[in-house]
């Protein structure tokens, strides 16, 4: 445990540490060992913290056990409880996800209440090996295979190089009680099945498989850190993002080392994917398009196409399933009236634009970048219109401080010529540009009075929804 703390700089003599205790063997051992290090002057154990998820009949017994442990170690004890099952149902999320979110919110509160620097968790090398296998089975890359980090912000894991069996032997020697969670026997839970079936099976091939897998996680974590730094350096020269569009330099992409190219593409696609998962196959199709022009295709949350020397990723608002259409129709549409409130579909370019009235407190950002714009509108103007760009169009982009030709604006933003006719232009009754959809609003329509009613404009793909 000392070696792990020193190697990863988890704590020093002045570091104030809270031990998160569940009542299980790992966390009880964690608290006892941190208490030893406190007495040796190597850190300061300022308290124990227990979160009661109220998911099990024995949950109150676990809380009582932790209370007794804190008294035995003579340390402050902080406890909180929430009905995690009810939270999961109310927020339409899994119990595991709701439990983790509630638990980590409690860790933040515990750290603040006890004026601590870090919260220590009792994850072991057994947990690390199980996490590695779960992510391997799911198909994670080096970032995911890195599994649990010894330190992540204010969370530390000083037992990450210790085996669970060793910790239980230590507890027996100290005559310290711990609780067994009966749900650990439920092999319908993937982690439990890995622990009960897969790890013992692999130990038949290598008795030290847990240590081997934990080492593999360390290797993957360090390799990802190296690649991530290299991707940071390459990003400005290879990637250009503007609103709902990300452009990748195909020549630079195809000459980059494959591992680095994959990471850059995965990052770029994730920018537009929202909560959708970008799979290995999606990344490979983009790399294939960089190497040799391919037909355009749909990927999670975006359209991918080759335009001259760039691979262009065009995103759409979260929840939308449509995409901008191809062809010359975009240049041919004229103008569509947009009522307030109301919505108009511009089928020629595959977009819908809506307008609604809202109180300023509901407005949010007012820059007009991406898929939402918040504006103020003259009361005498009750209608807007959506049209294509026209020769001579000018407007005053928010924050620029001067009028600019729309053509020059597109050039500055590196919007490909082929895409400019696909950008909806929202105008008022006097044909003044209100919003270059997805890019910027005009300065004269920005919200200046926090108390005023505002107009919310939304850009949505045809076939999509808010």
328 pLDDT higher than 70: no
pLDDT at 115: 94
Q: What is the pLDDT of residues 154-188, one digit of tens each?
A: 999 999 999 999 999 999 999 999 998 777 788 88
* In the chain, % of residues over pLDDT 70: 91
Same CATH topology for 2-220 and 243-315: the answer is no
Kindly report, residue by residue over 25-43, the tens digit of the pLDDT: 999 999 999 999 999 999 9
Backbone angles phi, psi at 320, to 5 degrees: -80, 145
pLDDT of residue 379: 53
Domain 2-220 indexed as CATH 3.40.50.620: yes
CATH topology of domain 243-315: 3.30.465
The more confident residue out of 174 and 369 is: 174
Contact 283, 248 (CB under 8 A): no
Q: What is the pLDDT of residue 363?
A: 44
For the record, the structure tokens of 428 come out as 């008022």
**0.85 exceeded by the pTM?**
no
Q: HSE of 29 in the Cβ direction (CA atoms, 13 Å)?
A: 23
Q: In the prediction, which pLDDT does 465 show?
A: 44
Residue ranges covered by each domain of the chain: 2-220, 243-315, 329-461
Instruction: List residues bridging with 247 in a β-sheet.
Output: 240, 312
The whole-number average pLDDT for the span 283-308 is 91
Q: For 100-136, b where at least 16 C-beta lie within 10 A, e where not — what string? A: eebbeebbeebbeebebbbbbbbbbbbbbbbbbbbbb
Mean pLDDT along residues 273-278: 83
Average pLDDT, the chain: 87
d(CA 214, CA 124): 9
User: Rounded to a whole number, what is the largest CA-CA distance in the chain?
Assistant: 84
Q: What is the mean pLDDT of residues 280-292?
A: 94
Please tell me the least confidently modeled range out of 51-65, 188-202, 250-264: 51-65
């Amino acid at each position: 445990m000392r070696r792990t703390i020193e190697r990863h700089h988890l704590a020093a003599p002045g570091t104030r540490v809270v031990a998160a205790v569940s009542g299980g063997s790992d966390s009880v051992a964690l608290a006892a060992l941190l208490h030893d290090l406190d007495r040796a002057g190597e850190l300061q154990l300022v308290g124990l913290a227990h979160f009661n998820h109220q998911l099990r009949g024995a949950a109150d017994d676990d809380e009582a056990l932790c209370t007794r442990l804190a008294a035995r170690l003579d340390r402050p004890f902080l406890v909180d409880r929430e009905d995690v099952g009810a939270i999961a149902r109310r927020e339409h999320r899994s119990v595991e996800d709701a439990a983790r979110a509630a638990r980590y919110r409690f860790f933040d509160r515990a750290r603040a209440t006890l004026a601590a620097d870090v919260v220590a968790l009792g994850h072991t090398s057994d947990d690390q090996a199980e996490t590695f296998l779960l992510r391997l089975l799911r198909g994670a890359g080096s970032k995911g295979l890195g599994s649990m980090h010894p330190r992540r912000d204010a969370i530390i894991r000083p037992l990450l190089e210790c085996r669970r069996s060793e910790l239980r032997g230590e507890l027996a020697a100290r005559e310290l009680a711990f609780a067994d969670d009966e749900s650990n026997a439920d092999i319908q839970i993937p982690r439990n099945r890995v622990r009960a079936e897969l790890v013992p099976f692999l130990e038949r091939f290598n008795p030290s498989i847990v240590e081997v897998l934990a080492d593999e996680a360390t290797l993957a974590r360090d390799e990802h850190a190296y690649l991530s730094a290299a991707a940071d350096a390459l990003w400005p020269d290879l990637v250009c993002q503007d609103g709902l569009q990300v452009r990748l330099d195909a020549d630079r992409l195809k000459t980059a080392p494959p591992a680095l190219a994959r990471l850059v593409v995965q990052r770029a696609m994730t920018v537009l994917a929202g909560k959708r998962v970008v799979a290995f196959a999606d990344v490979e199709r983009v790399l294939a398009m960089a190497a040799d022009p391919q037909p355009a295709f749909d990927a999670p949350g975006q359209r991918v196409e080759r335009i001259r020397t760039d691979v262009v990723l065009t995103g759409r608002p979260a929840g939308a399933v449509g995409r901008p259409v191809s062809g010359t129709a975009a240049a041919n549409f004229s103008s569509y009236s947009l009522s307030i409130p109301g919505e108009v579909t511009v089928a020629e370019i595959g977009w819908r634009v809506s307008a609604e009235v809202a109180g300023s407190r509901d407005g949010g950002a007012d820059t007009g970048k991406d898929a939402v714009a918040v504006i103020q509108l003259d009361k005498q103007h009750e209608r807007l219109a959506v049209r294509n760009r026209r020769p001579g169009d000018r407007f005053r982009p928010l924050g620029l401080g001067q009028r600019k030709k729309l053509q020059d604006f597109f050039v500055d933003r590196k919007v490909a010529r082929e895409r400019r006719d696909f950008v909806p232009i929202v105008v008022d009754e006097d044909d003044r540009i209100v919003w270059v959809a997805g890019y910027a609003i005009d300065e004269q329509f920005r919200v200046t009075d926090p108390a005023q009613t505002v107009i919310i404009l939304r850009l949505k793909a045809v076939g999509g929804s808010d």
